[in-house]
Amino acid sequence: MLAMNYRGPYRVRADHKPDPVIEHPGDAIVRVTRSCICGSDLHLYHGLVPDTRVGTTFGHEFVGIVEEVGSGVTKLKVGDHVLVPFNVFCGSCFFCQRELYGNCHNTNPQASAVGGIYGYSHTAGGYDGGQAEFVRVPMADVGPTVIPADLHEDDAVLLTDALPTGYQAAEMGDIAEGDTVVVFGAGPVGIFAAKSAWLMGAGRVIVVDHVEYRLDFVRRYAQCEVINFREVDDMALHIKKMTDWLGADVCIDAVGCEAAGNAMQTIAGPYTMLQAGSATALHWCINSVRKGGNVSIVGVYGPTFNAVPIGNALNKGLTLRMNQASVKRHLPRLIEHIQAGRIDPKQIITHRVPLEEVADAYHIFSSKLDNCIKTVLIPPSARQTRAVAATALN
C-alpha cells in the first residue's frame, strides 16, 4: 500500500509499505478514504515528540471503509463506512468506564500518562496512522462509529479529532452564560473551540493568533473578535484592558508546544528542548484569565519539564482542566449539531491533496503557505474507487 513515511524532522514521503494485518481478534482493517493532517502532527513532523521512529506513518484523523474484520468483531461489518476517533481505546478499563477514552489503560504499554493514538509516536502506543491506504483499527467494535447516511464525509473526518477537541476545550472551560472566552490559537481546534464557546452561551469570544489569514478566517467562520498578538505589547495587559481590568472568564490554550510570541520560550522549548515546547500560550492563559477563572488546555505539550507559572494559578484561584479529547463521548451531540446546521465543520477544509504529495502537503501546512487552514489527504485507492463509481453512474 501507499503510506506516508516519516524520515526525520521536516522530512516525510509517500512510500510503499506492507499492508497492515489483523493482529488481534478485535481488529479491523479500514481502507482509508480521507485523512487529515492535524496541527499536532506538526509536533511530530518537527521532531519534538520523543520516540517518533523513522518509518512511522502518521495520521490520527481518518475515515474509511471496513475492509476486513477479526474473528472477535461482532458489530462492525465489512463495507461499513466509519469514522475512527483518534484514540485507540478498549471501552472497558478503569478509565474508559469513566469515559476517559483518551486515557485508556489497555492500549499503550510504552507510557502511562497517555492512551494509544493512531500514528502518534511510540509514546502513544506505536500504532501506524491513517495517512495511508489501509490502517489497522484495534477494538473495532468499540472505537469506530458508522457515519450516518446524511453526514458528509468531510464533516465526518473532522469529527475524528479537530471538532471534538475544540468542543471539549470549550466544555472544560465550564462556560456560563455571558462569559468572555479567549481562545489562544486560530488553527482548526481553536476555530472549533471558538464556535463551541458560542454554543455554550458565551457572551464574547476573542481569538488570538499572529497569522493574519487565520485570524480573517476565524473572524468570519466563528463570528468572533480577533487579536494579532504581534500588534499587542503585552497580551495579559491587553486582555485586562478589554475586560474592564478583570480578565477573561475563560482562557483556552489551543496552541501547545510550538507557540510563538516569546523568544525565551522558543529558545528553551522547540530550539534547545530544555523544556517540552514553548509554554507561551499557557502563560498567557494563566495571566489573562480573571481571578477564579477557568483555564482549559488542549494544546499538545511534550512529556518533559515545562516552566509554568503555577504560583499565579494558585494565587488567582484558577481551575485548570486539560486532556486529550475523549472523542467518542462527544460524537452523538456533535452529530446532532451538524445535522441541525449549528456548525458546518467542512468549511475549514482548504486543501485536498493526493497522498502521493504528502511532503508538499506537510510543508504547506507547517509553513502556513497558501492560506492553509486544514488539509485532507486522499489515497490513490480512494480516488480510483470514486472514479469507478462515477463511471458506473454514467
Partner 1 sequence: MSHHTHEHGHDHEHGHGRNDLAVFQHGRPPVDRSAIQGWGADLDRKNRPAYPMERMPQRLDAPLTQPDQQPQHVEVLVSPERPHMTPLFGSPQPPSGLSGMLRRAAFRSTENDVRHWLLLLLADRVNVVEGLAEDLARGHVPNIFAEMGIKAEWEHNRVGLAKKVAVAAAVAGVGYYLLKRRSER
324 in contact with partner 1 (CB under 8 A)? no
- Locate the DSSP E strands across 287-374: 289-297, 319-322, 351-354
Handedness of CA 243, 248, 253, 258 (dihedral sign): positive
| DSSP, res 231 | G
Q: Does 352 bind partner 1 (CB under 8 A)?
A: no
Asked whether position 210 contacts partner 1 by CB under 8 A, the answer is no
Please tell me whether residue 292 binds partner 1 under the rule CB under 8 A. Answer: no
Indicate the residue among 210 and 363 with the shorter CB distance to partner 1: 363
Q: How far apart are CA 210 and CA 227, in angstroms?
A: 8
Q: What is the rounded CA–CA span in Å between residue 13 and residue 27?
A: 27
Residue identified by cell 487529515 is 36
Which residue in 65, 146, 200, 308 binds partner 1 (CB under 8 A)?
A: 200
Q: Does 273 interact with partner 1 (rule: CB under 8 A)? A: yes
Q: Is 40 in the site for partner 1 (CB under 8 A)?
A: no
Residues touching partner 1: how many (CB under 8 A)? Answer: 99
Note the helical H segments in 34-123. 39-45, 94-97
The piece of 148-156, 183-191, 226-234, 356-364 that touches partner 1 (CB under 8 A) is 356-364
Using CB under 8 A as the binding rule, the residues of this chain from 104 to 143 that contact partner 1 are 105-113, 116, 122-123, 125-128, 138-139, 141-142
Instruction: Provide the minimum distance between the beta carbon of 117 and partner 1 in the complex, in angstroms, as a whole number.
Output: 10
Q: Is 16 in the site for partner 1 (CB under 8 A)?
A: no
DSSP three-state, residue 377 = strand
- Given the complex with partner 1, which of 62 and 127 has the nearer CB atom? 127
Q: Which is nearer to partner 1, 137 or 254 (CB)?
A: 137
Instruction: Decide if residue 294 touches partner 1 (CB under 8 A).
Output: no
Query: Which residues, numbered 140-199, are part of the site for partner 1 (CB under 8 A)?
Result: 141-142, 167, 171, 176-180, 196, 198-199
Q: Hey, how many other C-beta atoms are within 10 angstroms of the C-beta on 353?
A: 17
Q: Which is nearer to partner 1, 24 or 386 (CB)?
A: 24
**146 burial class (0-12, 13-18, 19+ CB within 10 angstroms)?**
middle
- Our finding on whether 333 is near partner 1 (CB under 8 A) is yes
Q: Contact between 223 and partner 1 (CB under 8 A)?
A: yes
Closest contact distance (angstroms) between CB of 324 and partner 1 is 12
87 touches partner 1 (CB under 8 A): no
Of positions 79, 244, 311, 393, contacts partner 1 by CB under 8 A = 244
Residue of the chain from 361, 373, 377, 382 that contacts partner 1 (CB under 8 A): 361
Q: Does 99 bind partner 1 (CB under 8 A)?
A: yes
Q: Is 337 one of the binding residues for partner 1 (CB under 8 A)?
A: yes
**Does residue 320 belong to the site contacting partner 1 (CB under 8 A)?**
no
String of DSSP letters for 112-132: SSS-EEBTS-GGGT-B--SSB
Whole-Å CA distances, 303 to 47, 333, 348, 361: 13, 31, 30, 27
CB of 267 to partner 1, least distance (A): 17
Burial of 156 (0-12, 13-18, 19+ CB in 10 A): buried
Strands (DSSP E) contained in the chain are: 2-8, 11-16, 28-37, 62-69, 81-84, 87-88, 116-117, 134-137, 145-146, 180-184, 204-209, 225-228, 248-253, 289-297, 319-322, 351-354, 375-378
